[in-house]
Amino acid sequence: MDLGDTSETASDDELVEQLRQHLSTITSTRLGPDDDYFDLGLVSSLRALEIVTYIEGAHHVEVGVEDLDLDNFRTASRIAGFIRRKRGESGSGAS
């Protein structure tokens, strides 16, 4: 029970929840933070591009061609990790 970790966890949980809600809306399915909507067949390639556009606009990160690895975008939790990494919030030196 580290109280020092709660602010980071809370902000991370908030980001995951925002993403989960958005993904649930566009897939018309109640998704959990680790539900793989690609594996579930809920997202087409066109919808995937819409997700990338949403991430860039709503979360102010640039998604480059080198970032277009499906593993970055499979779940709300993975997208949150991707966003944090792009913002430099988690992990400082992985190129």
Q: CATH no. for residue 32? A: 1.10.1200.10
Domain count, the chain: 1
**Alpha-carbon gap, residue 6 to 28, rounded angstroms:** 31
Is residue 49 in some structural domain? yes
**Domain membership of residue 74 as a residue range:** 10-87
Q: What proportion of the chain, given as a percentage, has pLDDT over 70?
A: 82
The answer to whether residue 1 is domain-embedded is no
Is 4 part of a structural domain of the chain?
no
The residue-averaged pLDDT of 15-40 equals 97
Tell me the whole-structure pTM to 2 decimals.
Answer: 0.81
Express as a percent the part of the chain with pLDDT over 90: 79
Q: Is the dihedral of CA 40, 27, 52, 85 positive or negative?
A: negative
For residue 5, is it within any domain? no
2 inside domain: no
Q: Which of 78, 82, 37, 38 is CA-nearest to residue 59? A: 82
| pLDDT beyond 70 at 7 | no
More confident residue, 12 or 67: 67
Residue 19 lies in a domain: yes
| 21 inside domain | yes
